[in-house]
Structure 1
């Protein structure tokens, strides 16, 4: 998502600068935003090829998360 947005922003800026057209720059960037939304928002099948396996609730209770000590982050 970030790569698509940055790429469309750079392309929009370059085209707008060369053509000295602010409206064209905004249209290109808006098109990049729409393209990014079309690629990232739907639940595409290739996003689910390697799903994460989460722990069951009972298994998670047997393995508690480590506690972070408040004294370790002090500045001196």
Structure 2
């Protein structure tokens, strides 16, 4: 699509999942502590929303760091129908 690679390899998927979880946990904990400190639940929700937005921007696009270990496919094997036609 538009000359942009649109896949992630398995190691990239694992890395993206770990980054996503770390961002959400950190923003959730910091947001909860800040919201508790100022006694405003809205700040907690806003911090968590900012964490989701950041996690989305970091993990959803197939950045090159998620494509470091490309899959190695087996070579194509001719089917029986193609062999019979020759």
With the shorter chain as reference, the TM-score category is 0.5 to 0.7
User: Aligned ranges for residues 52-71 of structure 1 at < 5 Å?
Assistant: 52-55=71-74
Q: CA deviation at 1:53?
A: 2.7
Q: Does 1:10 align with 2:10?
A: no
| TM value normalised by structure 1 | 0.66
Distance 2:75 2:28 in 1: 42
Number of residue pairs matched by the alignment: 58
Question: How big is each residue's C-alpha offset from its partner over 1:18-64, in whole Å with a ceiling of 9 and x where there is no partner?
Answer: 11111111111100000001000001011111223344676xxxxxx
**Structure 2 portions without partners, runs of 5+:** 1-19, 78-86
What is the root-mean-square deviation in Å for CA atoms of aligned residues? 1.6
* Distance in 1 between residues matched to 2:36 and 2:74, nearest whole Å: 52
Could you tell me which residue of structure 1 aligns to residue 6 of structure 2?
Answer: none
